[in-house]
Amino acid sequence: MRQNQHKILLIAPPFYRLYKDAHPFNTYLPLSLGYLAGTIEKKTNWKVIVYYADFYPENGGFSLNYFMEEGYHNYINNLKHLSSPIWREIKSTILEYKPTVVGISANTQNFLSACAVAKLTKDINRQIIVIVGGPHPSLVGSDVLNCPDLDVGVSGEGEKTIVELLNAIDAKKEFHDIRGISYRRNGQIIENEPRELIGDLDSLCFPHEIVPRVLKDYDRYPLNAFGHVLATRGCPYNCFFCGSHKIWSGKVRYRSPENVIREIKGLQKIGIDTVRFEDDIFGVTKRYIKDLCNALIAHCPGIKWDCEMHVKLVDDNTISLMKRAGCKQIQLGIESGNNEILRKIGKNITIEEALSACKIIRKHNIMLETFFMTGFPQETEKTLKETMAAMKKTKSDFIVYSVFTPYPGTEAFKVCKENGSISNNYDISLYNHQSPANYFCVNIPREKFRMLLSKIEKMVDRINYHRRKKNSVLRLCRLQTFRKVREQGLANSLQKGVRLLIGKS
């Protein structure tokens, strides 16, 4: 590092580790940190360090019951008291690297954690500039600076913005010309013009190429932590609980299949044979799915991958092609078993279409995960029962279960404000998709609602346990069958060789 070179420490704050250190959801690196680090290294003179504070090298067990009871208690306690091991670890890291700037990537569920990181930073040195980006600032705009320890909020895509910010800090210039930010000037909060979206996604770096040089504790990460790929940005759908439109807009931008293939071939070269497409909706159009899958078949033999897909994109030909291209698992967002709920939340599907899509995916022997959500404002006991029935009918290999959470800046938040289920003193730290505090229904009394949800949570845990156990047994049976066939094949070959040696056929 050059003498007097400025340093920026990019941090993804903890969330799951506030529940439990060894948690199954925090073992891979968020792509956003890789994209930002690569851009900073390429286009500035700054030294960049990436620190994923939610990472824990050991993948522990998980149950909804733990998450919503003991785990939630730990979460709230850790937010209130900044003396637990995770906060000491964060403070130690800031002291070790002595950054000029700390950049925090925050979504709504971990925003209070981001504020805690900012406070720890300012406690160490008030001169450190703290910048926050990620989904949450995009949803709430300049309100993000209501946290007094944050100096700059970045809305929308951050790659170009962070470069302009760091160059301005280098030159000791004001921020008034930098699009896409909010900042403080003379005690006032200034919100600049929004930034345009990046036109050419192929111009972005490949995150796996940058992380060996910049990632704290890189050697502790499993190799598959870096096997995540983003082929598109944006989603054409408009579910009322989702903030994607505020972050990416409704316009979808695509990387060229050739560019995606280059990245995946690079992942294969370092030993990664399974990748995860992190797109909001894989492929978005059947034409792009076809082009990308044909490119995977031609150029990435042996690659396996999984993705999240929209029900409307599922048909026999598309899934067959995805299977041939290496797809091993698909996640479908179904959410509710009631068509009226699906209509009101903007899912643009029916439960009949969803169940048909599940059947097609299972037909091609692709692992199926389904997303379901309960507790919508319009929910009734009847719709909850229909959702429970749908969970069983999908026959999916795993159910990802959530409780409806209205995040600020979404249509859902507006609806809940209007119906009175969100008050003016709403504390976002209490609510997330697995929070026992969530209650935004207008048709079911709170106690009855919690009782029904407890029943659903136990059912989901039971289904997931038995289906995972069944799949483990099936995998073991397949392995044993393979070994028997292999052993029999070797025996037959040996017998054939002996016959040849003694001159018998």
Report the CATH number that the domain containing residue 104 is assigned in CATH.
3.40.50.280
43 assigned to some structural domain? yes
Long-range contacts from 48-51, C-beta under 8 angstroms, 24+ separation = 48/7, 48/8, 48/10, 48/214, 49/7, 49/8, 49/9, 49/10, 49/97, 49/99, 49/214, 49/216, 50/10, 50/211, 50/214, 50/215, 50/216, 51/9, 51/10, 51/11, 51/12, 51/93, 51/215, 51/216
Query: What contacts 438, CB < 8 A, 6 or more positions away?
Result: 375, 403, 404, 405, 431, 432
207 assigned to some structural domain? no
Whether 134 and 250 map to the same domain: the answer is no
Whether 52 and 101 map to the same domain: the answer is yes
Whole-angstrom distance, CA of residue 238 vs CA of residue 235: 8
Predicted TM-score (pTM) of the model is 0.88
Please tell me the least confidently modeled range out of 56-60, 169-173, 260-264, 416-420.
56-60
Whole-angstrom distance, CA of residue 92 vs CA of residue 125: 13
pLDDT of 487: 36
Query: What contacts 375, CB < 8 A, 6 or more positions away?
Result: 403, 404, 438, 439, 440, 441, 449, 453
Whether 372 and 313 map to the same domain: the answer is yes
Whether 389 and 317 map to the same domain: the answer is yes
Q: What's the chain's length in residues? A: 505
200 assigned to some structural domain? no
Average pLDDT over residues 289-318: 97
Whether 237 and 182 map to the same domain: the answer is no
Whether 187 and 231 map to the same domain: the answer is no
Whether 169 and 49 map to the same domain: the answer is yes
Whole-angstrom distance, CA of residue 355 vs CA of residue 144: 40
Residue 141's nearest CA partner among 407, 405, 409 is: 409
pLDDT band at 23 (very low <50, low <70, confident <90, very high): low
pLDDT digits (tens, 9 = 90+) for 436-463: 899 999 999 999 999 999 999 999 999 9
**Per the structure, how many domains does the chain have?**
2
Phi, psi angle pair for 189, to nearest 5°:
-95, 125
Please tell me the least confidently modeled range out of 1-5, 223-227, 259-263, 338-342.
1-5
160 assigned to some structural domain? yes
Q: Are 132 and 118 in contact (CB under 8 A)?
A: yes
Q: Are 20 and 434 in contact (CB under 8 A)?
A: no
Whether 187 and 299 map to the same domain: the answer is no
497 assigned to some structural domain? no
Whether 240 and 385 map to the same domain: the answer is yes
Helix (H, G, I), strand (E, B) or coil at 2: coil
Average pLDDT over residues 295-306: 97
206 assigned to some structural domain? no
Per DSSP, the residues of 210-239 read: HHHHHBTTGGGS-GGGG-EE--EE--S---
Whole-angstrom distance, CA of residue 297 vs CA of residue 39: 30
Q: Are 335 and 370 in contact (CB under 8 A)?
A: no
Whether 183 and 63 map to the same domain: the answer is yes
Distance between the two ends of the chain, CA-based, in angstroms?
72
253 assigned to some structural domain? yes
Residue 150's nearest CA partner among 176, 111, 186, 109 is: 111
201 assigned to some structural domain? no
CATH number, position 380: 3.20.20.70
Task: Write out the residue range of the structural domain in which residue 408 sits.
Answer: 227-481
Alpha helices in 394-445 (DSSP H): 411-418
Whether 149 and 259 map to the same domain: the answer is no
Beta-carbon-side half-sphere exposure of residue 1 (alpha carbons within 13 Å): 14
pLDDT digits (tens, 9 = 90+) for 273-285: 999 999 999 999 9
Whether 157 and 231 map to the same domain: the answer is no
